[in-house]
Structure 1
Amino acid sequence: MTRLIRFCAFALTLLLSLNGMAEIVKDPTTWTFEVSRKSEGKYELTFHLKLSEHWHIWSINPGGDGLQLPPSFKFKKDPSVKLIGKIRESGKRITETMDGVDGPVSYFLNKVDYIQTVEVTKNGMIKGEWTYQVCDESMCLPPTTKDFSFTIDDPALASADTARTVLNDTGNVAVASVQAPATPSGNTPADTAKQAGTEDKKEAGNPVPESLWLIFLGGLGAGLAAVVTPCIYSMIPITVSFFTKKSKDRKTGITNALVYSFSIIFIFAILGMAIIAIFGANALNSLSTHWIPNLIFFAIFLLFAFSFLGAFELTLPSSWTSRVDSKANTNSYSGIFFMALTLVIVSFSCTSAFIGGIAVLAAKGGFWGPLVGFSSFGLGIAFPFALFAMFPSYLKNLEKPGGWQNAVKVTLGFIELALALKFLSNADLAKGWRLLDREIFIGIWVVLSILLGMYLLGKLRFSHDDDLPKNMFGIPYVSVPRLLLAISAFSFAIYLVPGMWGAPLKAVSSFVPPMGTQDFIATGGSAPAAHAVAEGVTAPSKYVEKLKIYEPEAAKKFGLVTYYDLEEAKAAAKILKKPLMLDFTGINCINCRKMEGQVWSDPEVMKRMKEDFVVVSLYVDFNNEELPEAQRYVAQSGSKITTVGNKNADYQVTRFGSNAQPLYFFVDVDDHQLAEKGYPYDPNIDKFIAHLDAVKAKYKELNP
């Protein structure tokens, strides 16, 4: 299963380009809005979006590592308006991996429609607000929140009226009613929208081939791994012998065995298609991002783990097995199909954990992910049956079922426990609970690895375990495969141990919590001592609890004091008589992380930042923190400023005329700008040092 997760974390390299951007980047979006009557009292509200070249918008369920900001649409409550279902997107959705993001992400280029079905009982305006963020290859613009309104002008609520709203260049919403003829001739706006939506849906949800190949290989590997569990392994010689001996000739036996194998694949393919039909591809993608599905999968994987460890056995109702088994025979292909279905049902106690893992993996593959994942899983299980049916002489080479199979299940149980923690960690990071800080997470993994190694060596036993095999002298011994697995488990534990004191653990960095949650780093001392502020200076307090987990590793390592509120930072700068370094950054800003990792981590850079500046990181997408009602306002662009992230983004635009991140501006406590332009993403260490030195000299000139 570890290999499966590694497949999900595989990333491709993107082009990096961001040169000296200190001007406002014009919003590359054009929005239009349309109301289409579908039936009496029922309407579709459509948000049409066109994007400039090279810009994209995240899907409503973007996948990735949970830091991508999807568009959201909030409708004001109105007793005369009822929302039917959730808003849906229609367009050519692209799913692929991106450098710096954990797992495939989904987004739209060029254009996309967002459609909400409503039922209304009277004419009027349907109001609300929508929030969106767009990105190109090198940066993401700050999130934008604006108001929208749709006009329903249908006196009888039975005509084919439509209403269209157009978003003008100033960001204001202009509403215009368009009367459609009672008897349409040609294409009405509603027809055009419907045709466009239908055309887009043909290609929506198709991930790039790499993603599907990863899911295919992951499913195949899981299927082959499931074969060695007791429920399936013990059935191979029995089933193959049944087909070869009960058939009239060898050719018929092989044919029946192949039908049996293809039936297994078909059954799991049906399971994948059922998941698509019930949940839909978008709902599956949210499994990797939303905290509630992650908690559900944490509970499910715990259930699977305890089952594999022998606490109880997961089985489907026995009545299912009895009914299916009564129809199983080799006299017809349908009878053989029911034989395969019987195997799937009775082996559920062994395959359930694999099925759960495949469901999570398939969620990253868009519309076709579940079908590909479960079909390849069935292929992995079916392959040995077909192989030994064609070459029955090799059956004698199969190792006899025994205690080693229970050891396989227990080993998988330990792995399931480790994976369960990853889901809990995802939810923990999303909600900021701080239940599984980095060293706690790693510590539990270390314990699980040691316990697994002890179990494989026979030093830890469960009630359902068999005795170790004995040699000719009656002394229990450990087989070579168990020894190699034990060595691997202990080696992994030793590799993890330094991570509890801040080692980067690059091999598993995408699985463990971020370095910002680490409370102690050996090279930098404990966090409180390393981040101690000068006497008389107030330590950072505002938003620290929520934003500390995103603190750069370099800041954590060298003990850089970072503020997250501008007023707090100004108060400290006034006492220390230092200039301010305004770090306009983002939680989901990939280039920000690269700048911090490549430039901030340089000792000479960090020395200057610590000694010569007061650093304040202003997150433009920190939208989990609402502003007090009295501090909310409408920006000049028309955007509603309701969160701390909105406020930081608007401050960057209005004060410095820029909305790109990362971007570093330097000012004194009187707000005098100390450099003509901000410093953008440029990982040239010498250039950044020169910029810092120039800013320091300018500050001394203005403040002798």
Structure 2
Amino acid sequence: MLSTLMALATGIPAYGQSLLGNNSDFLPVDHAFEYSLEENDDGTLSLLWDIAPDYYLYRERMEIEGADAGLEQVSYPPGRTITDEFFGESEVYFNRAEMLIEPGDATALNLTWQGCAEAGLCYPPQSVTVNFAGQEVAAADLSGPENKGTTVPAPAGDAMAEDQSLASQLATSGLIWNLVIFFGLGLLLVFTPCVLPMIPILSAVIVGSNARRGRAFVLSLVFVVAMAITYALLGVAAALAGANLQAILQAPVFIVPLAIIFVLLALSMFGLYELQLPAFVRDRLDKVNRRQKGGSLGGAAVMGFISALLASPCMTAPLAGALIYIADSGNASLGGFALLALGLGMGAPLIALATIGSGLLPKPGAWMNAVKAVFGFILLGTAVWFLERILDDSLTLALWGALILLLGMSVRQIAQSRHSEAPLKALLNGAGAVVILWGALMMIGAAAGGTQLWQPLTSLAGSGAAPRQMADTDYARFESFKSINDLDQAVENAGARGQWTLVDFYADWCISCKVIEEEVFGDPDVIETLSDMQLLRADVTVNDKLDQELMSELQVIGPPTILIIGPDGQEYRAQRTTGEVSASQFLERLAAARQS
């Protein structure tokens, strides 16, 4: 029967009909969102998006990744925030957007994007691999540099990739900002007992040379740089090892053990037990360390290298966590620079101590355990971050809420210490109370089906990330189908009964589909009118091969799209609805189809 349907569609534009029947078509996806790639003189790339008027691209659904190697950095421009009652706030781009890309070792890009028309049409996710000339290439043609520029077409519109690689996320934040973060973490490590063993080692270097202040500065600088380079090499090694495991690390069987490792590392920072190198390894390194002569630059460098491995016990946990974190990115340059910054952050106060004097560093005390606890919470947060990839959004919100709640309780416990001064105690009490309250709100929101970290109670207010739930009796009931053969058989069976068929194209990421579900298929008059029709729904959320074939065969460019098919198997093409429509307009279209 669908052969007749498609024969009637021949010669009719594939872009859908206006909601008001004025024949103004929606643009095809490659006309609504046109991109171009330019290679700049400094080696960076500019990805330019030309977005048609009254169309927009989603910022959070845009992925830019290296096709054959990790990218150094991707800078996104700020977008405009729009709000709807189903999905909450979303950042989007109108008219024009430009992304600046530092490609690193990559020779091609994987681009994924998705956009909508303001009139109510959502396009399926689109994916493509392009070389630096902006030409589409196939992933199989990227096996070597000799293939750069190959112009074998790659199928656009494949299912959106789900892996949110750490390298992409860090690149979005910017390399400089990430280095500042790791440098700050290194500074925090100085104020923990794990760095204390370095002080007598560095003192031996200085004393052995009987150095004056200038010489002491040079020796301590060599010591610290050698230590930082050791960490950088560990970071590069971790990233190179992780580059081959990056895809594997997205599977639950690997993510769960990683999260458990981070929890165990965090517990060691809270003092439940100590993690350090095996005794036989530490003993051998210590013997090598004692044989080094203080005073020489070479001796300072060797001692810095060995100290990077000897510092324990608590350095082991943050370093292990950082190495796993970087391994997940597969970005060797990021791993090297990040841990170099970490080592320099640790060493900066040591240089000042060796050059000027011990009065610069605070005296050891119980407060150092509080700094260790900070790293404990960072490691727990990293565990939750890993689990986000496989857990339900509401459960993820609950885990973040529990972590925030524990953090607030810890701050309150610090405030109750008898060593705290009255003003500080009041400040910590107040801050702890606010953090506890927010953590509790997150857990309450998660229990109610909420998903947003900064708006955890939106689901209770009937808006935000969580769609409104309705009883099955409140709106029209559809039967699902998947392929063109399924549809053909269902239409033929309905035709044998003299029954009309309504076909609805739907997707979870389609805002307008939610609007139509509630305002059209939830309207009592519409429900009554459709009661004698066969109602079929094609859920194209996944946008897999069958979904693409179905939409291509029926010339559907995206959801929401509604087809009206008569008992003879013919679609009433003039009454097809693409985009949002009101209940009254839909009833008029249905009536027009039946009258004709």
| TM exceeding 0.5 | yes
Q: Residue 522 of structure 2 aligns with which residue? A: 610
Secondary structure at 1:610's aligned position in 2?
Answer: coil
Deviation at 1:370, TM superposition (A): 1.4
Of residues 326, 331, 349, the one that matches 1:366 is 331
Instruction: Provide, for residues 289-340 of structure 1, a one-character-per-residue CA deviation record: whole Å limited to 9, x for no partner.
Output: 4434422321221221222222321111122222222233423333323432
Deviation at 1:344, TM superposition (A): 2.4
Check conservation: 1:407, 1:456, Cα contact below 8 A: no
In 2, the alpha carbon distance for the partners of 1:273 and 1:284 equals: 14
In 1, the alpha carbon distance for the partners of 2:257 and 2:102 equals: 23
Q: Residue 345 of structure 1 aligns with which residue? A: 309
Change in 2 beyond 3 A, CA 1:384/1:94: closer
Q: Residue 15 of structure 2 aligns with which residue? A: none
Change in 2 beyond 3 A, CA 1:412/1:371: closer
Deviation at 1:412, TM superposition (A): 3.1
Change in 2 beyond 3 A, CA 1:484/1:445: same
Q: Residue 287 of structure 2 aligns with which residue? A: 326
AA in 1 matched with 2:550: Y
Secondary structure at 1:458's aligned position in 2?
Answer: helix
Deviation at 1:92, TM superposition (A): 9.7
In 2, the alpha carbon distance for the partners of 1:406 and 1:210 equals: 30
Of residues 214, 218, 222, the one that matches 1:255 is 218
Of residues 269, 286, 289, the one that matches 2:232 is 269
Check conservation: 1:263, 1:337, Cα contact below 8 A: yes
AA in 1 matched with 2:547: N
Change in 2 beyond 3 A, CA 1:498/1:314: same
Instruction: Provide, for residues 433-462 of structure 1, a one-character-per-residue CA deviation record: whole Å limited to 9, x for no partner.
Output: xxxx444433343333333333333399xx
In 1, the alpha carbon distance for the partners of 2:199 and 2:70 equals: 48
Q: Residue 505 of structure 2 aligns with which residue? A: 582
Q: How does 1:290-301 map to 2 (within 5 A)?
A: 290-301=251-262
Check conservation: 2:185, 2:345, Cα contact below 8 A: yes
Instruction: Provide, for residues 596-630 of structure 1, a one-character-per-residue CA deviation record: whole Å limited to 9, x for no partner.
Output: 1xx5677x9942353248794522635xxxxxxxx
Does 1:454 find its partner at 2:454? no
Of residues 578, 586, 590, the one that matches 1:699 is 590
Amino-acid identity (%): 17
In 1, the alpha carbon distance for the partners of 2:481 and 2:267 equals: 42
Check conservation: 1:244, 1:250, Cα contact below 8 A: no
Q: TM-score, normalised by structure 1?
A: 0.53
Secondary structure at 1:401's aligned position in 2?
Answer: coil
AA in 1 matched with 2:362: E
In 2, the alpha carbon distance for the partners of 1:24 and 1:285 equals: 31
Q: Residue 534 of structure 1 aligns with which residue? A: 473
Instruction: Provide, for residues 167-212 of structure 1, a one-character-per-residue CA deviation record: whole Å limited to 9, x for no partner.
Output: xxxx9xxxxxxxxxxxxxxxxxx9x996615999xxxx99979643
Change in 2 beyond 3 A, CA 1:322/1:341: farther
Gaps of 5+ in 1: 1-18, 29-52, 56-63, 71-87, 114-132, 145-170, 172-189, 429-436, 461-466, 544-564, 588-592, 623-644, 681-687
Check conservation: 2:262, 2:379, Cα contact below 8 A: yes
Q: What is the aligned length?
A: 469
In 2, the alpha carbon distance for the partners of 1:107 and 1:140 equals: 27
Check conservation: 1:411, 1:452, Cα contact below 8 A: no
AA in 2 matched with 1:700: A
Q: How does 1:622-701 map to 2 (within 5 A)?
A: 645-656=544-555, 658=556, 660-662=557-559, 664-668=561-565, 672-673=571-572, 675=574, 679=578, 688-689=580-581, 693-701=584-592
In 1, the alpha carbon distance for the partners of 2:103 and 2:185 equals: 29
Deviation at 1:697, TM superposition (A): 1.2
In 1, the alpha carbon distance for the partners of 2:499 and 2:372 equals: 61
In 1, the alpha carbon distance for the partners of 2:498 and 2:74 equals: 49
Q: How does 1:81-160 map to 2 (within 5 A)?
A: 96=74
Q: TM-score, normalised by structure 2?
A: 0.61
Deviation at 1:654, TM superposition (A): 0.7
Secondary structure at 1:399's aligned position in 2?
Answer: coil
In 2, the alpha carbon distance for the partners of 1:456 and 1:274 equals: 37
Secondary structure at 2:520's aligned position in 1?
Answer: helix
In 1, the alpha carbon distance for the partners of 2:314 and 2:498 equals: 65
Check conservation: 2:223, 2:301, Cα contact below 8 A: yes
Instruction: Provide, for residues 86-133 of structure 1, a one-character-per-residue CA deviation record: whole Å limited to 9, x for no partner.
Output: xx97589686366889xx9999999869xxxxxxxxxxxxxxxxxxx9
Root-mean-square deviation (CA), in Å?
Answer: 5.5
Of residues 196, 213, 233, the one that matches 2:146 is 196
Deviation at 1:528, TM superposition (A): 12
Deviation at 1:258, TM superposition (A): 0.7
Deviation at 1:262, TM superposition (A): 0.5
AA in 2 matched with 1:330: G
Deviation at 1:530, TM superposition (A): 3.3
Secondary structure at 1:316's aligned position in 2?
Answer: coil
Change in 2 beyond 3 A, CA 1:448/1:504: closer
Check conservation: 2:67, 2:107, Cα contact below 8 A: no
Secondary structure at 1:582's aligned position in 2?
Answer: strand
